[in-house]
C-alpha cells in the first residue's frame, strides 16, 4: 500500500474517532467514578481484576461448537450497512493496513480472566474507516463464519485497544481461538469479541446479537458486574 493511501486511511480513522470521542470518553470503562473489582489499576485506571473474576493461566476455548475452517486465503471481511462505501477486504489488504501491537486483558463472563496477552492486528477503527460509516450509524452487528453474532455500540468499537487480531503472544492466532482473524474488546466481556469474524454491519438502530438475545448484557461492562440484562 502506498504512503498516500496509508495517509488517507489514518486520516479517515481520526475523523471517525473524533466524531465519537465524547461518547468514548464518557463510556463506563473510561470514566466510571466507582469501578468495582480488585488489584492495582489497569491501563485504563480500572481495577485490574473485575468483580467476580479470577485469573487463569491457560486460555480456555468457548464457542458454539462449530469451528469453521477459515484460512488466510479464504478469509474475507465485509463492512457494510449504514456506511458510505460497503467494502470487502481479503487477507492481503488486511495485512497491508497499519498494524498495531497491544497488551491487554480478556475477561470471560464465565468468570475467568486471561491477563497480559500480547496481540497483533489492526484497530477496528481503521477497518471501519475504510467503509466510512454514516453520521447516523451508532451501533454494529458483528458476524462470524460460524453464524455467531454479537452487537457492540460503535463508540466501543472505536476504542484504541479494540483490535481485529491475527497473532497472540507472537504466534498466528490458533483456529480454536478464532484464527485467522477475530475481534477483541478488552474493556467489555469477551463474548463481544467474535472469533472468525466475517462481517461488521453498521446500524442506525440497535439490534441484539446471539447472547444478548438470550439474556446477556447489551453493554457488558466488566467493572460493573454487568453480565445479564
Ligand atoms: N464466532 C464466535 N465468536 C465467539 C464465540 C462463538 O461462539 N463464536 N463465543 C464468544 C464467547 S462466549 C467467548 S467467552 C469468547 C471465547 O473466546 P476463546 O474461545 O478464544 O476463549 O469468544 C466469543 N466469540
Ligand atoms: Mo463466553
Mean pLDDT for each 10-residue chunk of the chain (229 residues)?
91 97 95 94 95 98 97 98 98 97 98 98 98 97 98 98 98 98 98 98 98 98 97
Find out whether the beta carbon of 119 lies less than 6 Å from any atom of ligand 1. Answer: no
43 grid coordinates? 491501563
Find out whether the beta carbon of 220 lies less than 6 Å from any atom of ligand 1. Answer: no
36 grid coordinates? 468495582
CB 70 within 8 A of CB 90: no
Q: What is the DSSP letter of 222?
A: G
Q: What whole-number distance in Å separates Cα of residue 29 and Cα of residue 46?
A: 7
* pLDDT the model gives residue 2: 87
Burial class from Cβ neighbours inside 10 Å (0-12, 13-18, 19+) for residue 57 reads: exposed
CA of 6 relative to ligand 1 center, distance in Å: 31
* Cis status of the peptide bond prior to 180, with omega within 30 of 0: yes
Find out whether the beta carbon of 225 lies less than 6 Å from any atom of ligand 1. Answer: no
What stretches of 80-137 show up as alpha helix (H) in DSSP?
91-96, 124-131
* pLDDT the model gives residue 224: 96
CB 208 within 8 A of CB 85: no
β-strands 163-168, 182-184: how paired? antiparallel
116 grid coordinates? 497480559
CB 37 within 8 A of CB 48: yes
* pLDDT the model gives residue 153: 98
Amino acid at each position: 500500500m502506498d504512503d498516500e493511501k496509508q495517509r488517507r486511511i489514518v486520516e479517515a480513522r481520526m475523523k471517525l474517532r473524533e466524531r465519537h470521542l465524547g461518547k468514548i470518553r464518557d463510556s463506563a470503562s473510561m470514566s466510571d467514578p466507582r469501578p468495582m473489582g480488585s488489584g492495582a489499576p489497569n491501563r485504563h485506571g480500572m481495577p485490574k481484576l473485575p468483580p467476580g473474576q479470577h485469573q487463569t493461566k491457560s486460555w480456555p476455548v468457548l464457542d458454539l461448537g462449530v469451528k469453521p475452517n477459515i484460512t488466510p486465503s479464504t478469509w474475507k471481511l465485509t463492512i457494510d450497512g449504514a456506511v458510505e462505501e460497503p467494502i470487502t477486504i481479503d487477507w492481503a489488504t488486511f495485512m497491508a493496513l497499519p498494524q498495531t501491537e497491544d497488551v491487554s486483558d480478556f475477561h470471560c463472563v464465565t468468570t475467568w480472566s486471561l491477563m497480559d496477552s500480547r496481540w497483533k492486528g489492526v484497530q477496528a477503527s481503521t477497518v471501519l474507516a475504510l467503509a466510512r460509516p454514516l453520521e447516523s450509524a451508532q451501533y454494529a452487528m458483528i458476524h462470524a463464519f460460524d453464524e455467531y453474532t454479537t452487537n457492540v455500540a460503535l463508540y466501543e468499537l472505536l476504542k484504541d485497544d479494540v483490535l481485529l487480531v491475527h497473532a497472540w503472544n507472537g504466534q498466528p492466532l490458533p483456529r480454536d481461538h478464532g484464527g485467522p482473524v477475530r475481534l477483541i474488546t478488552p474493556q467489555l466481556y469477551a463474548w463481544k469479541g467474535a472469533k472468525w469474524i466475517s462481517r461488521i454491519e453498521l446500524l442506525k438502530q440497535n439490534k441484539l446479537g446471539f447472547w444478548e438475545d438470550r439474556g446477556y448484557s447489551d453493554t457488558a461492562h466488566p467493572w460493573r458486574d454487568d453480565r445479564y440484562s
